[in-house]
Amino acid sequence: MRRPVIPGSGVSLSARSLRSKPQRPKGRNAASGLAGAETRRGGPTSAPIFANGARPMNLTVQHFRDQVIGWVHENTDRIRVVWPLAGGWEAWAQAEIAGHINRHVAEAFIDREPPVYLDGSRADLLINNPFQNDASELIVVEMKCESLRNWRAFVDGLRYDAWKLQGAMRMGLGASKKMVIGLFFSPESEEQLAELTGFEIIYPRDREGVGIAILYL
């Protein structure tokens, strides 16, 4: 199945600085901007208690990246049937990725929608246990998922997320590692992402499937 082409888009976007605040797109989808994208194929409320008393396994940025790629590779056909839905599919993807990690990484810690920002607003994911690790071992993740209803705001949403991740955070999380992840399918978003600086672009199957854009901060 070929990726859908969105007619009449006429998209043009130059790389923009992250020093100034991007305009926040309407709705929960928002982001930040950034040299040629590299293309490849291929606060928390409580600490968890494990029955065996074991310490949760820490994920590195590379390991988390690989888990996201693995989930997309295994689930491209399922993603194709949800991306046309009204309301988007970001919450579904969050839960699916968290479940994929829990299935493949013994005793991993992944928290959804943690209130990491000073104003109480939430990131999409927090990786590794903040009660048992220094902030430098934690990964704060913002994520956007392109849908047929939000494609015009998708890349601006990524730019806004990148800007937001550079702001003040609670619990010393300013020292954490940070990632912006975008899951996309349209040629229009692919073209826009290619003009931004710093995003790695990955196609777990092929260019006709789901693409992953990742920015490391």
Q: Which two tokens stand for residue 135?
A: 């902030």
Which region among 7-16, 54-63, 152-161 has the lowest average model confidence (pLDDT)? 7-16
Instruction: Report the range of poorest mean pLDDT among 11-20, 83-92, 183-192.
Output: 11-20
Tokens of 42: 């291929």
Tell me the C-alpha to C-alpha distance, in Å, between residue 178 and each of 52, 79, 116, 117. Answer: 30, 25, 12, 13
What pLDDT does 57 receive? 79
Reported pTM: 0.77
Percent of the chain with pLDDT over 70: 74
Task: Report the C-alpha gap between 67 and 174 in whole angstroms.
Answer: 24
Q: To 5 degrees, how large is the angle CA 86–CA 88–CA 91?
A: 135
Six-digit token string for 205: 């199957």
The residue type at 35: A
Contact 64, 179 (CB under 8 A): yes
pLDDT of 31 > 70? The answer is: no
Core vs surface per residue 55-90: b (16+ CB within 10 A) or e: ebebbeeebbbebbbebbbebbeebeeebeeeebbb
